[in-house]
Amino acid sequence: MKRILTAIAAGLIATAATAQDAAVGVWQTEVDDGAFAHIQMEPCGAAVCGTIVRTYQADGTPFQSENIGRQIVIGMAPNGDGTYNGQVYRPSNGKTYVGKMQVNGNALRLQGCVAGGLICASQNWVRAQ
């Protein structure tokens, strides 16, 4: 019985840690192709996933993009040191890339890579909320 209670407690602690992940929240992307977005990052299993929730023209004017609701950060698994590995989807070209992410306070660096991680493009996001 003690083992069962210990396993349940460990599961609850792991779930609470995931819910309090530093990446969780709303992040503002850099301007890309004349627009930027707010991405809602939230737990998805043991990882973190991000979905476009609002879009803006480069001047800050909101607009209704067909990409609202699209998941662009996919299965970013935490490495325990503020870095993550998963996938990144880029709506402007419809391609999914090997993804890397690093969170440091209110700053998030997202990379999409090809060629086994030898060639990467990156964006620096800031916490919006």
pTM: 0.82
- At residue 116 the predicted structure's pLDDT band, cuts being 50, 70 and 90, is confident
- At residue 14 the predicted structure's pLDDT band, cuts being 50, 70 and 90, is very low
Alpha-carbon separation of residue 120 from 35, 63, 92, 128 (angstroms): 21, 29, 16, 25
**If you ran DSSP here, which 8-state letter would residue 69 be given?**
T
Task: Give the model confidence (pLDDT) of 55-113 as tens digits.
Answer: 999 999 999 999 999 999 999 999 999 999 999 999 989 999 999 999 999 999 999 99
pLDDT, position 21: 85
Q: Which long-range contacts (CB under 8 A, 24 or more apart) does 104-109 make?
A: 105/22, 108/23, 108/27
Residue, of 7 and 112, whose pLDDT is higher: 112
CATH class of 2-127: mainly beta
Q: What are phi and psi of 115, to 5 degrees?
A: 55, 45
Residue, of 109 and 117, whose pLDDT is higher: 109
- Average pLDDT value over all residues in the chain: 87
Average confidence (pLDDT) over 27-41: 96
Beta strands at 47-57 and 35-44: parallel, antiparallel or unpaired: antiparallel
Q: Count of H helices and E strands in the chain? A: 1, 9
pLDDT > 90: percent of the chain = 78
- At residue 115 the predicted structure's pLDDT band, cuts being 50, 70 and 90, is confident
Rounded CA gap, 74 and 56, in Å?
A: 22
Report yes or no: 21 and 38 within 8 Å, Cβ to Cβ. no
Collapsed DSSP state (helix, strand, coil) of residue 3: helix
